[in-house]
Structure 1
Amino acid sequence: MTLTLSGISKSFDDFTAVHPLDLTIPEGSFFALLGASGCGKTTTLRMIAGLEEPSAGRILLGDDDITRLPPHKRPVNTVFQNYALFPHLDIAENVAFGLRRRGIKNVRAQVAEMLDLVQLGDLARRRPRQLSGGQQQRVALARALINRPRVLLLDEPLGALDLKLRRQMQLELKRIQTEVGITFVHVTHDQEEAMTMADSVAVMYQGRVEQLGPPADLYENPRSTFVANFLGTSNLVEAKVLAGQDTAGTASAGLRVEVPGADGALRVPPDRCSAGDTEPGAMVLVGIRPEKIALVSAEEAATVPDGHNRLTGRIKDAGYLGVSWQYQVETPAGAELTVYAQNLERDSRLTAGAPVVLHWRPAHTFALDAAQDAAAGEETL
């Protein structure tokens, strides 16, 4: 059944935690509410669970209005960050707890099925303290799934795990969701977590959904500076729109913009322009992701492919990250650009102080409204 939030909002006295929002979450999908602390994502989840009463709006599961139903009457279960396992019960009894509360006596087969699903069948008689953090998280998941909810809510379920284990559990959660086919609604502040697992992501900011869509679309086509900066890293540079549209290559009506230090006009595809005013002379923010930029020494400028967007600059700092090198490049555009270069064969001339040329395909460029705060989303965690 489709989960629908229609005009749902929540206020606490004179503070609005969630402004009226509309969301449609398809049945069987993995949906993520992503944002920094205080953005309203957990409050939204709690309203779905019935733990907070909406100030306005409706929550529908299929055609059923569940807005005023108490939590125990909703076909919804929640997995929290702290797992809340019973330390005096073994794993099998923890998983069986919900069924036994409903008066179901013969639970052995269902418990075994759930433990096999989360790959803990051989640990059924252990106590929670004998398990790792990731194993405890899977027990909490099995305990929620055994009740066969229509919707499973996950409130920062991986937040207590270390980085390596968290990445392993991201893949496990996606595998389990695909196997059981239940709608998962996942709250997280971790961009990588949302991008790895979710079919769709709603990026929330100050109680509103800033942008909604598949992870790749949000990353490649941000519609605001907050989304551009919050999902990964973006280089944003002020530019002036030039007269005449770009008609090179396959672009039929793209923007041509002028940036100090650019070797000619930069080009922006028409489908990657979210700027408000694009008349000649208007100012826009031109964006490019660090991994999309190639870097060559000034001596190699002639090797830059024709048609690429180009900027000159000077390396301020070069840092080794293992899988890549990170360069900070000062440019006449008035902005310091970040470049990620895969750790293959590094040009030894690319050191601090070296003059360089940055270049990238126009198709990787996007443009946003210059009236926005170019730093929005950078300091939110």
Structure 2
Amino acid sequence: MTTPHGGDVRLAGLSKTYGSFTAVHPLDLAVPRGSFFALLGASGCGKTTTLRMIAGLEEPSSGSVLLGDRDVTALPAYKRPVNTVFQSYALFPHLDVFENVAFGLRRRGIRAVRKQVADMLDLVQLGDRAHRKPHQLSGGQQQRVALARALINRPEVLLLDEPLGALDLKLRRQMQRELKRIQTDVGITFIHVTHDQEEAMTMADTVAVMHAGRVEQQGAPAGLYENPRTAYVAGFLGTSNLIEATVGGRSGDGIVVTAGGHRLLLPAVRCAADAPPGGTVLAGVRPEKISLTHADDAVQVPEERNRITGVIADTGFIGVSTQYAVDSPGCGALEVYVQNLDRDTRLVPGADVVLHWDPQHTFGLDAAPGHGAERSDVALDDVAAERSAAGRAAAGKSAT
């Protein structure tokens, strides 16, 4: 089954309210056919509710769900060309792997299933485990069975709701690669919901960061990481040092700002704030972009680099790098990640240091209180989560 415009998923003004609480504010979103799309956000941000509205497991309060030019908003879940894979897998314990995967075909009255099931098991690299029961498989293998069972129905869109959340770290990373490989091989649209920013950045072509029922920012993973447009995105995707600074004026293609008596240069193209001279911005820089030099060697730091002085407050050795916490008067507490190549033994708590980086790695954000960083009401978010969880048993059936 295909749609006129190639199966694009489009959400038009889609929203969901529970009484006086809005779980998802009116949302406009387009997911191109054949892409791996991730909805990323903390628990209660509205991402799973959005996924369930696409699946037909939750009725929207307003708006539409479209596949190509076909409006499927009023269609029940079982009539939509969409399948869902959940964190719980929902495999049938009394059936072996082969029959779990064949279940959807047999339910539709298809009798000749052997080749289709064999091909699908080969795709997920489980052909040699066709006659094992789910309890005889690892968590990652069970997850691949769930994927195969959903994909064998040839959906236009596969929805994945925190599918790797129950796996340990090593297995989760392995399955991230597997999911991306499978998506590339089958070529259908994947919409993946996760709270794990590394997971989203590793697999997705496009990531939409959700917060308090809204999409804060959407784009390619590298673009979101390098050029966050709000303080929430800057903090949720990795770690950012956000330094409150005063705007001075222009210098070529850059904006001159001052913080704690330090002069910093901010590229105008990387500034999401619209602050006039004398106004306040947040000058941001990622911890791994910063170099750390002992104060005794400060003369060796090139003049054109942004620089801030401080004192090391704490250090943490994590193998590939050392993480430094630095206190800088007027700039607050800053984090620096330094690869463990040639470690400077002088860089210990109490040492005076210079933090310096290429000005091109600085980004600017609006410093208005609460901008892009509103806190959602956890209790009300839990209401939405509970309502969503109430339909999971039915959802498991829909996935097959």
Normalised-by-shorter TM-score class: over 0.9
Amino acid at match of 2:344: D
Q: Which residue does 1:259 correspond to in 2?
A: 259
Q: Which residue does 1:288 correspond to in 2?
A: 285
Distance, in Å, in 1 between the alignment partners of 2:41 and 2:86 is 17
Q: Which residue does 1:346 correspond to in 2?
A: 343
Equivalent residue in structure 1 for 2:251, among 240, 246, 268: 246
Distance, in Å, in 1 between the alignment partners of 2:35 and 2:288 is 30
Equivalent residue in structure 2 for 1:314, among 306, 311, 314: 311
Find the residue that maps to 1:359 and give its secondary structure: strand
Distance, in Å, in 2 between the alignment partners of 1:37 and 1:190 is 10
Distance, in Å, in 2 between the alignment partners of 1:324 and 1:375 is 30
**Over aligned residue pairs, what C-alpha RMSD do you find?**
1.6
Distance, in Å, in 2 between the alignment partners of 1:94 and 1:377 is 44
Distance, in Å, in 1 between the alignment partners of 2:150 and 2:35 is 17
Is the Cα contact below 8 Å between 2:15 and 2:63 reproduced in 1? yes
Find the residue that maps to 1:135 and give its secondary structure: helix
Q: Which residue does 1:325 correspond to in 2?
A: 322
Compared CA separation, residues 231 and 319, structure 1 to 2 (3 A): same
Distance, in Å, in 2 between the alignment partners of 1:132 and 1:173 is 16
Q: How far apart are 1:375 and its partner, in Å?
A: 10
Distance, in Å, in 2 between the alignment partners of 1:55 and 1:300 is 62
Q: Which residue does 2:393 correspond to in 1?
A: none
Report how many residues are paired.
Answer: 372
Q: How far apart are 1:92 and its partner, in Å?
A: 0.4
Amino acid at match of 1:177: Q
Q: Which residue does 2:207 correspond to in 1?
A: 201
Q: How far apart are 1:228 and its partner, in Å?
A: 0.4
Q: How far apart are 1:332 and its partner, in Å?
A: 1.5
Find the residue that maps to 1:242 and give its secondary structure: strand
Q: How far apart are 1:192 and its partner, in Å?
A: 0.3
Q: How far apart are 1:246 and its partner, in Å?
A: 1.9
Equivalent residue in structure 2 for 1:273, among 259, 271, 274: 271
Pair 1:85 & 2:83 matched = no
Q: How far apart are 1:259 and its partner, in Å?
A: 1.0
Amino acid at match of 2:283: V
Q: How far apart are 1:378 and its partner, in Å?
A: 10
Is the Cα contact below 8 Å between 1:261 and 1:331 reproduced in 2? no
Distance, in Å, in 2 between the alignment partners of 1:167 and 1:333 is 40
Compared CA separation, residues 227 and 122, structure 1 to 2 (3 A): same
Amino acid at match of 1:149: P
Q: How far apart are 1:73 and its partner, in Å?
A: 0.6
Q: How far apart are 1:276 and its partner, in Å?
A: 2.8
Pair 1:371 & 2:377 matched = no
Q: Which residue does 1:303 correspond to in 2?
A: 300
Amino acid at match of 1:19: H
Pair 1:22 & 2:28 matched = yes
Distance, in Å, in 1 between the alignment partners of 2:33 and 2:126 is 27
Q: Deviations over 1:212-264 (max 9, x none)?
A: 11111111111111000011000011100003x122xxxx2x210011142xx
Distance, in Å, in 1 between the alignment partners of 2:94 and 2:173 is 29
Equivalent residue in structure 2 for 1:161, among 159, 167, 192: 167
Is the Cα contact below 8 Å between 2:216 and 2:372 reproduced in 1? no
Q: How far apart are 1:206 and its partner, in Å?
A: 0.5
Q: Which residue does 2:18 correspond to in 1?
A: 12
Q: Deviations over 1:103-123 (max 9, x none)?
A: 000000000000000000000
Q: How far apart are 1:169 and its partner, in Å?
A: 0.4
Q: Deviations over 1:165-202 (max 9, x none)?
A: 00000010000001100000000000000000000011
Distance, in Å, in 1 between the alignment partners of 2:372 and 2:324 is 19
Flag structure 1 segments of 5+ consecutive residues without an equivalent.
none
Amino acid at match of 1:246: S
Matches within 5 A, 1:156-235: 156-235=162-241
Dislocated runs of 4+, deviation >6 Å: 377-381
What TM-score, normalized by structure 2, do the two folds share? 0.91
Q: Deviations over 1:19-52 (max 9, x none)?
A: 0010000000000000011100000000000001
Pair 1:52 & 2:50 matched = no
Distance, in Å, in 2 between the alignment partners of 1:348 and 1:380 is 46
Distance, in Å, in 2 between the alignment partners of 1:361 and 1:375 is 26
Flag structure 2 segments of 5+ consecutive residues without an equivalent.
1-6, 379-400
Find the residue that maps to 1:330 and give its secondary structure: strand
Find the residue that maps to 1:149 and give its secondary structure: coil
Higher relative contact order (CA 8 A, sep 6+): 2
Is the Cα contact below 8 Å between 1:272 and 1:365 reproduced in 2? yes
Distance, in Å, in 1 between the alignment partners of 2:278 and 2:229 is 21
Find the residue that maps to 1:175 and give its secondary structure: helix
Q: How far apart are 1:270 and its partner, in Å?
A: 1.2
Distance, in Å, in 1 between the alignment partners of 2:166 and 2:132 is 21
Is the Cα contact below 8 Å between 1:230 and 1:377 reproduced in 2? no
Q: Which residue does 1:37 correspond to in 2?
A: 43
Pair 1:68 & 2:65 matched = no
Q: Deviations over 1:31-79 (max 9, x none)?
A: 0000011100000000000001111111110111101101111000000
Find the residue that maps to 1:97 and give its secondary structure: helix
Q: How far apart are 1:13 and its partner, in Å?
A: 1.3
What TM-score, normalized by structure 1, do the two folds share? 0.95
Amino acid at match of 2:326: V
